[in-house]
């Protein structure tokens, strides 16, 4: 029964029942404000119980105030059907084979114009219908691993994903694409960088910043770029492939451990921090920026290291932080803490005792910088030296999120803190780099005349 | 070609055949005969400080070459549930336009270019929209749902416009009938196009996101004049709130037209109401012409049997030296010839004044295949030199017969296929009659193809905005602020005895309240004040330039001064001339400028004997009241402001 009134509750539900009107009814509603006609749409769970939503013949939706309704009449009924017809993804023996893993984010979608619903497209047939260019690049197969939002991706998902990728590589795939929500894409990219080592093929993570129902969405172009990178590129690393500028011009291939989402909504939100991206990519070509990457190989000698200790936390330091923050982690049995410290890697004296308690309990504590750019330098000031004496280990220029993922992964495979330290400080995939190139730090400042002249010339 | 088809004659014959009536001589009967039907979509910018979904300033504009940054986007169609692109979507995708947006930091933030989700809706705009909705007696919705309406032309960087219904139904009164409304929506204005050449389209984003309302009528206007009248009414009505912008481009209308058996064709963005009658007249007859073409074609051939033949021409085999062909050769373009079976007499068939069917094809080649005008030659051009010289070669290459017509166009390889498909598509449509499309109105009253008309099925909910409740209380509060209905204002003007020719100026400038106020404060009669605005001031605006800011309230100040100084209001007509040029001048100085002196009745009377004598000496006229008029003329300027001119006339009459 509940299904007949999708999402309606309280007063609105009462009224629908009273007049025997179901969701998907073609209804005429008389109100004190006039008469409205249209199809009764489902109501979003979090919306109030004071309105009933109609889709009118003009295509517009309107809400009708329950208090004003004097009569309702069902004139017809047609339940919406969200099925998308599929077109078979063409196969060609000469083309590379690419596997697309889905984790829950919508990469492509189609509209159900009648009801206005946005239906995700995922199967090869659906994708081919939405982004036919993919068939020019590769033979594609897809597998939906999870259906979770980006923020719900966690250790269990990292492990499953790593294992599935390993299996595909063993089976001879030429490239992997992972569709992912953008919010935590860089966490998952780091996790895969550690869990899938020495991959002979590219593993490319991709998503979209603007939903794929919009004609100007970045989704299709990102997917085309990512698929091309997976199918054709010589870069056998875990990468994130997203827009370079906000303009529809080219994408960037970022190293999975140096990339970070830097804007809540911009298309060009992903940036490589403290280094340059590996390459730029467009529909026609891949242009390398760096040449010291791992090359594609014929063999299948991939190492899958699916470990993760969940009792690890990031502590973002702020002035006046109290020791109880650290103490609560100790009490709750945490095994590792990554601190995002100020400046070169500092915290205030007040929490020293808590840090001493933590290291005494055998908790691994690593220091990163909340400035994101730059290295931890704990020898420069007394504070840093004090902290190291207490057992905090500087994590060089590892990004806080990457350090968090790596510490979880290291503690997942070793209990001995010296062993953990060795794992942590041995670079696997550029999470620590020996040097920061001069162009690794670029945050432009608007308003400065030469910068404005430059902005006018390039497409941001 | 041995015998050349008389194109000019065919054009005129076909024009006659469809019964085209010149706009100036067309009557209601003519429109009834062709089944003229017209509806309006009137867009009106709302006067708010900020835009609808972000906090950028509204109504701050940038010049064409003034920008801080550029962003490039491509529009990609999304599929409907049937797995097919809709008409517009497909066309826009086929045109493969690079769309460049020119942004200015002052007028554009990351929202306009769709790099940030929308902020809360501008409540001022919402209130104005509800106010106007109530004015036309609409059913206001209980909850505003913002939906996304797709546009693939690039006029909105997201590829969709955020819009929502404020009210439905409602009506407006015309002189002799009532026109019903379908709906009023609140929506974001689009970006302004700078240029559209080849594959590059450029927009500026200053206007983008400004709040506007769209009022949609049922197609119930049955003559071009009714369409203009309804549009005028909607404009006055919106302006009567005092809450809408009134400058150039602040109100724009889309006009949809059909004839009996025709198709609803939308003429987009008509900038001036006065253009509506001629545009709709011509569009309706264009449809009549297209239906005639359909009839002629179907008599000759079945559309399923109609096949176009296409060949690439060899420059070496051409003998003529037509400028376009030489240029095409120079630019390394391919020269493509197309044979259109049974199209003889169709290409030069009348469609609009000065335009024939081949224009329909040429316009589509420009828009869809990005081939800039002039983009083709045909066997049915007024002066087909090219076909004189090379007609035989072309016809032979195409294996054409005598009842066929031919087109030649030039293109690079990239656009070749789409251009060919475009020609074929338009010719196939000729068998169906009037294509579903939007057209652009030109100042000469004709229209050109703009794009395929999108359906109602390109709308879906905006997931970035929550529904907005419109409670009873809000509606009641807004109801209190409603201005007088325009219809009522017109009645009032009639009661005041204000001539109809003065109405437009008064209503357009929202002067009813001002006239009431001047009358209330100074007792000057309504008709006099109304005429001072609508005739005197209107005339001055066309002739002179003020040295400072002239506002209508200066006129109020002037009448107050006249009352305080106990002058006769007739002096206002003289004072206004000075006041308009020098808005900041003191009223005393204006009087000095006019050389005004206070003279009572007796004083004025004392001038008459001398003038009377003078007239007798110089008079040559035999007219009876020549003397009266001459003396009046001599004394008028001395009297104005002191006594009423009607009183002066009495005195003069008595004294001569
Ligand atoms: Zn803005």
Please give the average per-residue pLDDT across B470-495, as a whole number. 87
Q: What is the pLDDT of residue B95?
A: 61
Instruction: Calculate mean pLDDT across residues B623-627.
Output: 80
Active site residue A163: no
> A392-439 pLDDT, tens per residue?
999 999 999 999 999 999 999 999 999 999 999 999 999 999 999 999
Whole-number Å distance, alpha carbon B64 to ligand 1 midpoint, is: 19
Does A114 touch chain B if contact means CB atoms closer than 8 Å? yes
pLDDT greater at residue A383 or residue B194 = B194
Task: Tell me the count of A-B CB pairs closer than 8 A.
Answer: 198
**A348: exposed, middle or buried (Cβ count in 10 Å: 0-12, 13-18, 19+):** middle
Whether residue B391 lies within 8 A of chain A, CB to CB, comes out as no
What would the two tokens of residue B551 be?
């506002």
Section B585-598 average pLDDT: 92
ipTM of the complex: 0.89
CATH fold of A97-304: Rossmann fold (3.40.50)
In the predicted structure, residue A45 carries a pLDDT above the cut 80: no
pLDDT tens digits along A323-350: 999 999 999 999 999 999 999 999 999 9
> In the structure, what pLDDT confidence band is assigned to residue B81 with cuts at 50, 70 and 90?
very low
For B440-467, what is each residue's pLDDT tens digit? 999 999 999 998 766 556 788 888 898 9
Residue B85 has pLDDT above 60, yes or no: no
Backbone angles phi, psi at B109, to 5 degrees: -115, -170
Query: Which residue in A3, A28, A173, A49 sits closest to A101, CA to CA?
Result: A173
- How far B544 CA sits from the closest chain A CA (Å)? 41
For the ranges A225-229, A392-396, B6-10, B385-389, which has the lowest average pLDDT?
B385-389
B645: which residues sit within 8 A by CB, 6+ positions away?
Answer: B570, B636, B639
CA of B210 relative to ligand 1 center, distance in Å: 9
A213: which chain B residues are within 8 Å (Cβ-Cβ)? 78, 148, 460
What CATH number labels A2-77? Answer: 2.30.30.520
- 3-state SS string for B595-615: CCCCCCHHHHHHHHHHHHHHH
Using a CB–CB cutoff of 8 Å, tell me whether A449 touches chain B.
Answer: no
CA of B423 to the centre of ligand 1 (A): 41
Alpha-carbon gap: A447 to the closest alpha carbon of chain B (Å): 10
Q: Is B325 helix (H, G, I), strand (E, B) or coil?
A: helix
* Nearest residue of B to residue A58, measured between CA atoms: B456
Average pLDDT of chain A, as a whole number: 91
At B242-251, the pLDDT tens digits run 899 988 889 9
Confidence class for position A114, pLDDT limits 50, 70, 90: low
SS3 A21: coil
| CA B101 / ligand 1 centre spacing (Å) | 14
Contacts of B356 (CB under 8 A, 6+ apart): B11, B347, B348, B349, B350, B380
Q: Where are the beta strands (DSSP E) in A93-197?
A: 97-102, 108-112, 117-121, 139-144, 175-179, 196-197
- Beta carbons within 8 Å of A434's beta carbon, 6+ residues apart: none
Residue B487: band (very low, low, confident or very high) from pLDDT cuts 50, 70, 90: confident
A311 catalytic per annotation? no
Q: Is A110 on the interface with B (CB under 8 A)?
A: yes
CA distance B101 to B107: 13
Catalytic residue among A182, A188, A272, A383: A182
Q: Which of B73, B110, B475 sits opposite A248 (nearest CB)?
A: B73
> φ, ψ for residue B477 (rounded to 5)?
-60, -45
* Residue of A15, A127, A215 to mutate for B, most B C-beta atoms under 10 A: A215
Within chain B, how many helices (H) and strands (E) appear? 22, 24
Q: Are B6 and B150 in contact (CB under 8 A)?
A: no
The span from the CA of B189 to the CA of A95, in Å, is 46
In this prediction, residue B287 carries a pLDDT of 98
Look at A68 and B152 and tell me if their CB atoms are within 8 Å: no
Q: Hey, do A2-77 and A312-425 end up sharing a CATH topology, with the first three levels equal? A: no
What does A66-90 look like in DSSP terms, one character per residue?
Answer: GGGEEEEEEEEE-----PPP--PPP
pLDDT score at A365: 97
Written as one string, the DSSP assignment of A306-373 is ----S-EEEEE--TT--HHHHHHHHHTT--EEEEEEBTTTB--GGGHHHHHHHHHTT-EEEEEETTSS
pLDDT of residue B271: 86
Q: Is the bond leading into B374 cis (omega within 30 degrees of zero)? A: yes
- Chain A: nearest CA to B89, how far in angstroms? 9
Query: Is pLDDT of B258 > 90?
Result: yes
- A131-to-A126, A237, A285 alpha-carbon distances in Å: 9, 25, 18
* B69 contacts A460? CB cut-off 8 A: yes
Q: From the CA of B57, how far away is ligand 1's center (Å)?
A: 8
Task: List the domain boundaries for chain A.
Answer: 2-77, 97-304, 312-425
Residue B113 CA to ligand 1 center (angstroms) comes to 8
Task: Write down the catalytic residue from A47, A49, A112, A183.
Answer: A183
pLDDT exceeding 90 applies to what percent of chain B?
65
Active-site residue (options: A261, A272, A335, A433): A261
Report residue A109's pLDDT band, with 50, 70 and 90 as the boundaries: low
Candidate from A261-265, B435-439, B483-487 with smallest mean pLDDT: B483-487
Model confidence band, residue B73 (pLDDT cutoffs 50, 70, 90): very high
Strands A175-179 and A203-206: parallel
Tell me: the pLDDT tens digits for B521-560?
A: 899 999 999 999 999 999 999 899 888 889 898 999 999 9
| pLDDT level of residue A277 (50, 70, 90 thresholds) | very high
CB of B157 within 8 Å of a chain A CB? The answer is yes
In chain B, residues 69-98 whose CB comes closer than 8 Å to chain A: 69-83, 89
What residues of chain B lie within 8 A of the CB of A30, using their CB?
none
Name the one residue in this structure whose structure tokens are 């008309």: B453
Structure confidence by residue, pLDDT tens digits, A296-322 = 999 999 999 999 999 999 999 999 999
- Chain A residues in contact with B73 by the CB 8 A cut-off are 216, 247-248
Tokens 């293109």 identify what position? B411
What tens digit of pLDDT does each residue of B380-399 get?
A: 987 767 777 788 889 999 99
Whether residue B92 has pLDDT greater than 60:
no
Q: Which tokens is A101 given?
A: 């893993």
- pLDDT of residue A77 exceeding 50: yes
**Chain A residue nearest residue B466, CA to CA:** A47
Q: What is the pLDDT of residue A2?
A: 46
A70 part of contact set with chain B, CB < 8 Å: no
Residue B82 — very low, low, confident or very high, per pLDDT cuts 50/70/90? very low
What was the pLDDT predicted at B381?
85
Q: How far apart are CA A25 and CA A5, in angstroms?
A: 10
Give the whole-angstrom CA distance, residue B445 versus residue A30: 44
> At how many degrees (to 10) do helices A185-195 and A155-170 cross?
50
Which of B114, B115, B459 is nearest residue A60 as measured by Cβ atoms?
A: B459
Contacts with A, B 597-656, CB within 8 Å: none
Catalytic residue among A26, A55, A99, A106: A106
Which secondary-structure segment (H or E) carries A102?
strand A97-102
A49 touches chain B (CB under 8 A): no
CA of B49 to the centre of ligand 1 (A): 12
Residue B470: closest CA among chain A residues belongs to which residue? Answer: A65
Examine the pLDDT at B87 and tell me if it is beyond 70.
Answer: no
d(CA A130, CA A108): 7
Please give the average per-residue pLDDT across B585-594, as a whole number: 92
Quick check: A266 and B67 CB within 8 A?
Answer: no
A residues 298-327 near B, CB within 8 Å? none
Cα(A112)–Cα(A213) distance, rounded to whole angstroms? 10
Q: How far apart are CA B446 and CA B359, in angstroms?
A: 11
Q: Which of A114-123, B66-75, B276-285 has the highest mean pLDDT?
A: B276-285
Question: Among this protein's residues, is A182 annotated catalytic?
Answer: yes
Chain A CB within 8 Å of residue B325 CB: no
B302: pLDDT strictly greater than 90: yes
Tokens encoding A9: 């509750």
pLDDT surpasses 50 at A220: yes
Instruction: Please state which CATH class domain A312-425 belongs to.
Output: alpha beta
Across B246-250, B338-342, B640-644, least confident range: B246-250
| CA A276 to the chain's CA centroid | 20
- Taking the centre of ligand 1 as the mean of its atom positions, its distance from the CA of residue B128, in whole angstroms, is 20
Instruction: Report residue A267 CA to chain centroid gap.
Output: 13
Give the lowest-confidence range in A121-135, B42-56, B61-75.
Answer: A121-135
Asked whether residue B304 carries a pLDDT value surpassing 60, the answer given is yes
Nearest chain B alpha carbon to A214: B159
Residues B172, B178 contacting (CB under 8 angstroms): yes
Q: Give pLDDT tens digits for A341-380.
A: 999 999 999 999 999 999 999 999 999 999 999 999 998 8
Q: Is residue A112's pLDDT more than 70?
A: no
Q: Which two tokens stand for residue A237?
A: 């690393």
Q: What is the C-alpha radius of gyration for chain A, rounded to an integer number of angstroms?
A: 26
The answer on pLDDT for B577 being more than 80 is: yes
pLDDT score for B218: 96
pTM of the model: 0.82
Disruptive mutation site among B87, B91, B460 for chain A (greatest number of A CBs within 10 Å)? B460
């Amino acid at each position: 029964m509940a299904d007949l009134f999708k999402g309606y509750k309280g007063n609105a539900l009462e009224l629908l029942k009273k007049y025997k009107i179901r969701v998907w009814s073609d209804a005429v509603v008389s109100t004190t404000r006039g008469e409205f006609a249209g199809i009764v749409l489902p109501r979003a769970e979090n919306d109030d119980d004071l309105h009933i939503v109609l889709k009118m013949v003009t295509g517009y939706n309107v809400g009708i105030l329950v208090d004003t309704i004097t009569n309702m009449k069902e004139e017809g009924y047609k339940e919406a059907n969200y099925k998308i017809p599929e077109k078979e993804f063409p196969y060609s023996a000469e083309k590379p084979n690419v596997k697309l893993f889905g984790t829950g984010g919508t990469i492509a979608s189609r509209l159900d114009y009648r009801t206005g619903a946005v239906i995700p497209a995922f199967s090869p047939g659906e994708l081919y219908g939405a982004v036919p260019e993919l068939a020019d690049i590769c033979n594609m197969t897809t597998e939906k691993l999870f259906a979770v939002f980006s923020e719900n991706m966690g250790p269990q998902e990292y492990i499953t994903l790593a294992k599935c990728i390993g299996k595909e590589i063993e089976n001879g795939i030429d490239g992997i694409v992972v569709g992912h929500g953008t919010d935590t894409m860089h966490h998952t990219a780091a996790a895969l960088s550690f869990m899938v080592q020495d991959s002979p093929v590219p593993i490319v993570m991709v998503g979209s910043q603007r939903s794929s129902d919009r004609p100007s969405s970045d989704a299709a172009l990102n997917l085309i770029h990512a698929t091309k990178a997976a199918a054709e590129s010589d870069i056998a690393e875990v990468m994130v492939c997203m827009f370079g500028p906000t303009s529809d011009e080219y994408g960037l291939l970022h190293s999975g451990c140096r990339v970070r989402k830097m804007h809540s909504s911009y298309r060009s939100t992903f940036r490589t921090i403290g280094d340059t991206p590996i390459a730029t990519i467009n529909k026609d070509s891949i242009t390398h920026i760096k040449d010291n990457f791992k090359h594609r190989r014929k063999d299948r000698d991939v190492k899958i290291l699916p470990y993760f200790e969940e009792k690890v936390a990031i502590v973002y330091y702020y002035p006046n932080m109290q020791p109880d923050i650290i103490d609560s982690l100790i009490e709750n049995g945490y095994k590792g803490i990554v601190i995002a410290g100020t400046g070169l890697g500092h915290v205030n004296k007040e929490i020293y005792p808590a840090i001493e308690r933590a290291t005494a309990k055998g908790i691994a504590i690593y220091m990163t910088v909340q400035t994101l750019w730059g290295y931890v330098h704990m020898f420069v000031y007394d504070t840093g030296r004090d902290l190291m004496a207490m057992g905090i280990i500087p994590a060089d220029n590892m990004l806080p999120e990457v350090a968090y993922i790596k510490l979880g992964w290291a503690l997942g495979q070793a209990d001995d803190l010296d062993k953990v330290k060795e794992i942590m400080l041995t670079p696997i995939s550029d999470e620590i780099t020996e040097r920061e190139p001069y162009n690794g730090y670029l945050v432009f400042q608007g308003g400065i005349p030469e910068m404005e002249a430059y902005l006018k010339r390039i497409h941001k | 070609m041995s015998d050349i088809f008389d194109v000019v004659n065919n054009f005129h014959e076909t024009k006659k055949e469809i019964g085209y009536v010149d706009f100036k001589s067309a009557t209601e009967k003519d429109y009834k005969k062709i089944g003229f039907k017209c509806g309006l979509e009137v867009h009106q910018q709302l006067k708010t400080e900020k835009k609808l979904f972000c906090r950028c300033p509204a109504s701050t504009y940038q010049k064409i070459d003034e920008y801080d940054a550029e962003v490039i986007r491509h529009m990609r169609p999304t599929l409907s549930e049937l797995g097919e692109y809709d008409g517009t979507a497909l066309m826009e995708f086929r045109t493969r336009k690079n769309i460049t947006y020119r942004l200015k930091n002052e007028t554009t933030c990351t929202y306009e270019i769709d790099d940030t989700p929308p902020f809360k809706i501008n409540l001022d705009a919402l209130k104005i929209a509800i106010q106007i909705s109530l004015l036309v007696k609409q059913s206001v919705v209980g909850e505003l749902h913002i939906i996304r309406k797709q546009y693939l032309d690039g006029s909105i960087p997201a590829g969709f416009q955020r819009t929502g219904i404020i009210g439905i139904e409602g009506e407006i009164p015309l002189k002799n009938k009532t026109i019903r409304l379908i709906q009023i929506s609140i929506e974001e204005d689009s970006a302004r196009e700078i240029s559209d050449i080849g594959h590059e389209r450029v927009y500026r984003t200053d206007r983008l996101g400004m709040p506007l309302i769209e009022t949609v009528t049922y197609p119930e206007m049955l003559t071009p004049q009714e369409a203009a009248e309804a549009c005028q009414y909607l404009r006055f009505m919106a302006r009567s709130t005092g809450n809408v912008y009134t400058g150039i481009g602040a109100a724009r209308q889309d006009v949809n037209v059909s004839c009996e058996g025709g198709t609803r064709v939308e003429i987009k963005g008509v900038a001036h109401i006065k253009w509506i009658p001629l545009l709709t007249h011509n569009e309706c007859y264009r449809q009549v012409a297209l239906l005639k073409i359909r009839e002629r074609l179907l008599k000759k051939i079945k559309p399923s049997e109609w096949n176009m033949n296409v060949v690439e021409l060899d420059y070496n085999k051409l003998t003529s030296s037509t400028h376009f062909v030489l240029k095409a050769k120079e630019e390394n373009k391919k020269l493509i010839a197309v044979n259109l079976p049974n199209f003889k007499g169709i290409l030069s068939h009348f469609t609009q004044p000065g335009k024939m069917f081949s224009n329909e094809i040429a316009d589509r080649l420009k828009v869809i295949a990005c081939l800039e005008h002039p983009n083709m030659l045909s066997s049915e051009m007024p002066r087909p030199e090219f076909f004189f010289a090379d007609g035989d070669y072309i016809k032979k290459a195409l294996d054409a017969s005598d009842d066929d017509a031919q087109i030649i166009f030039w293109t690079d390889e990239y656009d070749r296929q789409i251009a060919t498909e475009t020609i074929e598509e338009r010719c196939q449509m000729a068998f169906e009659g009037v294509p579903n499309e939007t057209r652009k109105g030109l100042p000469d009253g004709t229209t050109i193809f703009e794009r395929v008309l999108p359906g109602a099925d390109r709308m879906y909910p905006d997931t970035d905005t929550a529904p907005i409740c419109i409670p009873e209380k809000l509606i009641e509060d807004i109801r209190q602020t409603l201005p007088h209905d325009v219809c009522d204002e017109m009645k009032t003007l009639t009661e005041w005895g204000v001539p109809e020719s003065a109405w437009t100026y008064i209503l357009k400038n929202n002067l009813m309240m001002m006239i009431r106020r001047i009358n209330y404060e100074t007792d000057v009669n309504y008709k006099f004040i109304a005429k001072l605005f609508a005739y005197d001031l209107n005339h001055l605006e066309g002739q002179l330039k003020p040295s400072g800011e002239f506002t209508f309230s200066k006129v109020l100040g002037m009448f107050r001064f006249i009352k305080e100084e106990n002058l006769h209001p007739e002096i206002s007509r003289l004072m206004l001339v000075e006041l308009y040029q020098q808005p900041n001048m003191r009223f005393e100085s204006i009087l000095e400028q006019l050389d005004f002196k206070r003279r009572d009745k007796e004083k004025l009377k004392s001038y008459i004997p001398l003038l009377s004598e003078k007239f007798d000496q110089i008079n040559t006229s035999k007219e009876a009241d020549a003397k009266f008029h001459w003396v009046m003329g001599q004394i008028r300027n001395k009297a104005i402001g002191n006594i009423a001119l009607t009183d002066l006339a009495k005195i003069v009459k008595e004294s001569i």
